[in-house]
Amino acid sequence: MKKIAIAAATGNIGSSVARQISSHGATPLLLGQNLKRLEDLNISGGLEIVADISNTEEVIAATEGAEALFWLVPPVLNTPSLNEWYQKVTDAGIAAVNQHKIKRVVLISSLGASTSPNLGTVSYCGKMEVAFDKLDASVLALRPGYFMENFLLQAKDISEKGIFTFPYDSEHDIPFISADDIAEVATRYLLDETWAGHWKLNLMGPENITLAQAASRLSVRLGKSVEYVKQSGEEVKAQLSSWGLSKSVQQELMDLFFTLGDPNGPYATPRTIEASTATTFEQFLERKFLPSL
């Protein structure tokens, strides 16, 4: 039976990949730092393995016997530097592939990766792609747009106050995508033994929508007025500072927000048929947002 190692298995994408891998009869090796959260996934045939994916020795031990690897850098903010965090996780994944001669790797990167330096974590994803492309293994880097699941973090404010905020202009076109769609594509390539080489695939959801349009669609579905309020740069800086983040991480996140909000930035990437995925914003609201309230 195929064994497929899944980094950050309790996350939005990782947990969906794990369930889909299991449903196809393969064995998901569930990597995470919290055993209870791994067990609570309740994935049939899954093997729960406690491992820090930034620790090379632990990752090598956790991925023994895997013939495919699902790899991503989970969002961690209590670190001195996001650049260093990305590098550690990248190094650990590469070491595991080399040690076990893992055949296939699917990476979660970012739309716009490798286009320019100083783009915060978008640039770090590009560096990760370059590092994995030096391997003999077949490597697919998935480059998704903005996760629809980011709305879940503001579900309470949307429901109770009728507002949500991001640091982007209300008319900025954003390729929103469901984490489940990303997982579906990742699972397909993790299980498929016929592809080879090093590939990049943009994933941009079914359409670009603005935050003003998102507010309108939320209003219709909730039956109440929902307003989008843009956060100013100063408000974002104050919020990041209040979280106790290092100065380096604060700047890296500001660089990221500026990049994603640039009308000529990554989200201006031309849309292709291959980049489109199925789940609409309305379907996301029905399947995930409303049940979260």
The domain ranges of the chain are: 3-146+177-205+266-278
The dihedral sign for the CA sequence 140, 268, 275, 15? positive
CB 29 within 8 A of CB 49: yes
Residue 11, H or E segment:
none
The DSSP secondary structure of 223-283, one letter per residue, reads TS--EEEEPPHHHHHHHHHHTT--HHHHHHHHHHHHHHH-TTSGGGPPP-TTT--S--HHH
CB 151 within 8 A of CB 174: no
Instruction: Please give the pLDDT value at position 166.
Output: 96
CA distance 180 to 169: 26
Tokens of 205: 């959801």
DSSP bridge partners of 143: 202
State the amino acid at position 134 in one-letter form.
K
The CB density around residue 220, as the number of other CB atoms within 10 Å, is 12
CB 86 within 8 A of CB 128: yes
Instruction: Please give the pLDDT value at position 116.
Output: 72
According to DSSP, the β-strands at 138-144 and 198-203 are: parallel
CB 249 within 8 A of CB 77: yes
CA distance 132 to 97: 9
Is residue 51 exposed (0-12), middle (13-18) or buried (19+ Cβ within 10 Å)?
Answer: buried
Q: Please identify which residue in the block is written with the tokens 């045939």.
A: 45
Kindly report the pTM of this predicted structure: 0.95
Instruction: Please give the pLDDT value at position 102.
Output: 98
Instruction: Please give the pLDDT value at position 252.
Output: 93
Is residue 229 exposed (0-12), middle (13-18) or buried (19+ Cβ within 10 Å)?
Answer: middle
Instruction: Please give the pLDDT value at position 117.
Output: 76
CA–CA distance from 88 to each of 95, 110, 285 (Å)? 11, 18, 35
CATH class of the domain whose range is 3-146+177-205+266-278: alpha beta
Point out the residues of the chain with pLDDT beneath 70: 115
Instruction: Please give the pLDDT value at position 118.
Output: 81
Instruction: Please give the pLDDT value at position 19.
Output: 96
Instruction: Please give the pLDDT value at position 112.
Output: 92
CA distance 184 to 9: 14
Instruction: Please give the pLDDT value at position 58.
Output: 98
Instruction: Please give the pLDDT value at position 1.
Output: 72
CA distance 216 to 32: 38
